[in-house]
């Protein structure tokens, strides 16, 4: 299926660091390998003869399906990371993400209440950070993951300065 980007044309998107793929891979490995291992338990038990009930084909099919799904997610990760982008405009910040489920978010600088920078252990070891914007609305889940630390600090300063200049009430 042809994927047409939904973002407004004529924007120069800045992409996040390709190293962020590693962060996603670690997360993927932890989540999916654990799931596959847990789902394989019945198979092992059936093979040992400890369990009677799940027929062999079912006990094998479930972890196999989970494994295929996990592989599919693994293949998608680099594309998903490439699809994350942000663009600073005169008065607002645009954040986009997603391939199948796309989303473009516009956050006006004057609406920002505060800016967060966080970094998990994997991100930190790679010199990356995640920037979060908060507005008065809980629905604004504006997050730019996988920024190089320097770029994150620059962006935070930039956003704070611009937010102050354009600050509006609620």
Interface contacts to other proteins, rule CB under 8 A:
1, 3-4, 6-9, 91-92, 100-108, 110-111, 135-140, 142, 166, 168-170
Q: Which two tokens stand for residue 71?
A: 């592989």
3-state secondary structure of 72: helix
CB 25, min distance to other proteins, A = 24
Q: Which of 3, 25, 158, 167 is nearest to 96 (CA)?
A: 3
CB 27, min distance to other proteins, A = 23
Strands (E), 6-99: 14-15, 85-88, 92-97
CB 36, min distance to other proteins, A = 25
Distance (Å, rounded) from C-alpha 66 to C-alpha 1?
24
CB 72, min distance to other proteins, A = 14
For other proteins, the closer CB: 19 or 132: 132
For other proteins, the closer CB: 4 or 52: 4
For other proteins, the closer CB: 119 or 142: 142
For other proteins, the closer CB: 70 or 95: 95
CB 169, min distance to other proteins, A = 6
For other proteins, the closer CB: 25 or 104: 104
- Contact in structure between 95 and 146 (CB atoms under 8 Å): no
CA dihedral of residues 69, 146, 26, 125 (deg, nearest 10): 180
Q: How many residues does the chain have?
A: 170
């Amino acid at each position: 299926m042809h994927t047409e980007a939904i973002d407004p044309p004529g924007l120069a998107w800045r992409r996040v660091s390709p190293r962020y793929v590693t962060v996603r891979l670690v997360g993927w490995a932890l989540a999916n390998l654990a799931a596959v291992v847990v789902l394989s338990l019945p198979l092992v038990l059936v093979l040992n003869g400890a369990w009677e009930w799940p027929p062999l084909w079912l006990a094998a099919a479930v972890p196999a399906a989970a494994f295929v799904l996990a592989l599919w997610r693994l293949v998608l990760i680099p594309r998903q990371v490439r699809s994350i982008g942000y663009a600073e405009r005169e008065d607002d910040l645009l954040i986009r993400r997603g391939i199948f489920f796309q989303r473009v978010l516009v956050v006006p600088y004057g609406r920002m209440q505060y800016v967060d920078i966080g970094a998990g252990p994997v991100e930190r070891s790679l010199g990356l950070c995640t920037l979060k914007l908060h507005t008065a609305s809980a629905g604004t889940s504006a997050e730019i993951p996988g920024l190089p630390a320097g770029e994150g600090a620059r962006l935070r300063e930039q956003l704070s300065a611009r937010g102050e200049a354009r600050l509006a009430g609620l």
